Structure 1
Amino acid sequence: MATLFRWLSRWPLWLLHALGGALGWLSYALSPSYRRRFKANAAQAGVSRPAFRAAVAEAGRLITELPALWMRPESQPLAGRARWQGAELIAAAHARGDGILFLTPHMGCFEVAAQLYAEDYASRHGPITVMYRPARKPWLQDLVATSRERTGLAAAPATLAGVRQLIRALRRGEAVGLLPDQVPPDEMGVWAPFFGRDAYTMTLAARLAREPGVTPLLTRAERLPHGRGYVVHLAPFDEPLPAGAAQAESAAAVNRAMERVIRTCPQQYLWGYDRYKSPRSTAAGHNKD
């Protein structure tokens, strides 16, 4: 697989995206379970038919662009292929000496946001640490781990040790990247509405956002058409987060913020992601409908 990724990484981005569009529709056609989940999740959010059809292809592009990002030599910077919209929010946070918490849903090319930050800011403000869930297959574990560990970019596993790693980075005034719509491990989340349906939601995002000296930013990396690159959009996180032990209310506030981000570009959200699944030990004890 690593050999295949290295070969694909030499392709131009427009060709990888063309291949990805076809892959997206092929996956949708061949997998009944994926197709049902895709339709149900998009319908739950009220996605229009044009955005729905575009999202099928965009899901494939998310996969085929990975070789270009993971195998990209560090001698080939993203400058010219990716840019910020809202970079003044980063500058303001750094001026205050704050740590930055980038919160992005499963949409667009979320991989590129961390890489762009690492290139533009890590040499002056320290690395960005991103949380990821280790792959189950051993061959993929090595590929993901080595591909995401780049200069100025550190990876933290979705474990308690990884959580501590994120907190330490923020307290040093560094940046952290997190996908709040990722289903957390059992006992690390609460049930909260997401597009009108209860979803098991991590409590970590709200916990980190409430840390003193942390600036949370809503983030999405838009994939431009025809392989023209990416724009990373930033916005303030302006949802009030209840203090104390109101975890469900805080998780709901984070979900509302994610919904607003997704609605700005629903055609690039990963509607096939199993957002409403249950951790195994709670599956029998909670009715999600």
Structure 2
Amino acid sequence: MLNKFGPIFASAVFKCVAFLPLTFVQHIGKLCGWLVWILPGSYKRMAQANLQQAFPGSDRNLVRSAMLSVGQLFLEMPYWWVKRDSVLLNTKVHCHDWKPFEVALAKGKGVILLSPHAGCFELLGPIYSSRHQSTVLFRPPRMAWLQDWIIEMRSRKQLKMAPANVQGVRALVKTLLRGQTVGILPDQVPVKGEGVWAPFFGRPAYTMTLVNRLQKLSGATIFIMGARREPIGKGYTILYKEMTEPLPDDEVESATIINREMEEMIRQMPDQYLWGYNRYRQPKDKRPD
């Protein structure tokens, strides 16, 4: 029954959110964030611990702002998953220059976009794919119907989703070899055997080696990218940095560089990172595909 009615119910809820004005959605999201801040919970405790690790001596205001940001992201996600109007999207998202991406793509070796879970990262796929064909890696949920629904909701004409498994990695490779773009969120903990331990805000974190392997295989240009949320009603700003040097062959050194780049992007919007994620946990065993 869940396989049949789950997608229908989820789609109905998301469409109701998307029907509302974005400013109203963000205000409601902020209210949800206040509840996360006021009520006790493991997410807030983890966020407080991780923020102290990253920014020793940070006060309660930063934790509170991070909780409000989580609430906004929670409501922005259905809003932007449902919206398919690229013109509307581009009026809300500001980028000072898209030319570096065009120059990199013109080399014919593809582009790798890396983003931390900061700001409204759900916007990056839709806004970038409104200009260039791309494939984004995502971690599939355990429920089959939910995975199919997520793929359907997040896909666009020029945006495809690739699950984080063998088939998904193959899709990324094919995309890069066609000279197109792939998107990855490298601050997730990969499964055992697919990462190395590298420092992240001064503490070892199990970090994926996939980015290193993809660049070595394709010669793709890497960009660090983020979508910073501006004050309510002011839209979002695209932040990016091109990595002009290829990643080193050593996987630990490569992962250390990637984590350092993630840190730099997060520092540009420290109140908008998902600090409640257990970034320092032990990796889980790989699930069968």
**When the two structures are superposed, what TM-score results if normalisation uses the length of structure 2?**
0.88
Out of 152, 157, 166, which is 2:158 matched to? 152
Shift of 1:210: 3.3
1-side partners of 2:86 and 2:241: how far apart?
30
Per-residue deviation, 1:170: 0.7
Q: Percent identity?
A: 42
CA distance in 2, matches of 1:259, 1:53: 20
Do the aligned partners of residues 95 and 280 (structure 1) sit closer, same or farther apart at CA in structure 2, a change above 3 Å counting? Answer: closer
Change (3 A) 1:3 1:31: farther
Q: 1:238 to 1:45 in 2, by over 3 A?
A: farther
Match of 2:6 in 1: none
- The 5 A counterparts of 1:241-260 are 241-243=247-249, 246-260=250-264
The answer to whether the 8 Å contact 2:140/2:147 transfers is yes
Query: Mean alpha-carbon deviation: is it higher for 85-94 or for 24-33?
Result: 24-33
Equivalenced residue count is: 275
| 191 and 140 in structure 1: CA distance in 2 versus 1, 3 angstrom threshold | same
Residues 1:218 and 2:229 are matched in the alignment: no
Q: Unaligned 5+ residue runs, structure 2?
A: 1-9
SS of structure 1 residue aligned to 2:67? helix
Q: Distance in 1 between matches of 2:204 and 2:78?
A: 35
Instruction: Give the alignment partner of residue 176 of structure 1, picking from 165, 182, 204.
Output: 182
Structure 1 equivalent of residue 100 of structure 2: 89
What TM-score do the two structures reach when normalised by structure 1? 0.88
Does residue 19 of structure 1 match 2:28? yes
Native 8 Å contact 1:87 1:234 kept in 2: no
Per-residue CA deviations over 1:114-170 (Å, capped at 9, x if unaligned) read 10111123xxxxx21000011234553343121111110000000121111111111
Distance 1:88 1:109 in 2: 22
Taking a change above 3 Å as real, the CA distance of residues 117 and 280 of structure 1, as seen in their structure-2 partners, is closer
Whether the 8 Å CA contact 2:86–2:130 is kept in 1: the answer is: no
Q: Deviations over 1:192-247 (max 9, x none)?
A: 1111111111001222233443110010011121133222111112566322xx21
Distance in 2 between residues matched to 1:94 and 1:219, nearest whole Å: 16
Q: What's the CA shift for 1:70? A: 0.9
Q: Does 1:268 align with 2:272?
A: yes
Distance in 2 of aligned mates of 1:227 and 1:273: 27
Q: Cα distance 1:230–1:115, how it changes in 2: closer, same or farther (>3 A)?
A: same
Q: Quick one: distance in 1 between partners of 2:210 and 2:284?
A: 20
Coordinate RMSD, CA, aligned = 2.0
* Residue aligned with 2:173, SS: helix
- Trace 1:90-169 onto structure 2 (pairs within 5 A): 90-121=101-132, 127-138=133-144, 140-169=146-175
Cα pair distance change 1:92/1:260, threshold 3 Å: same
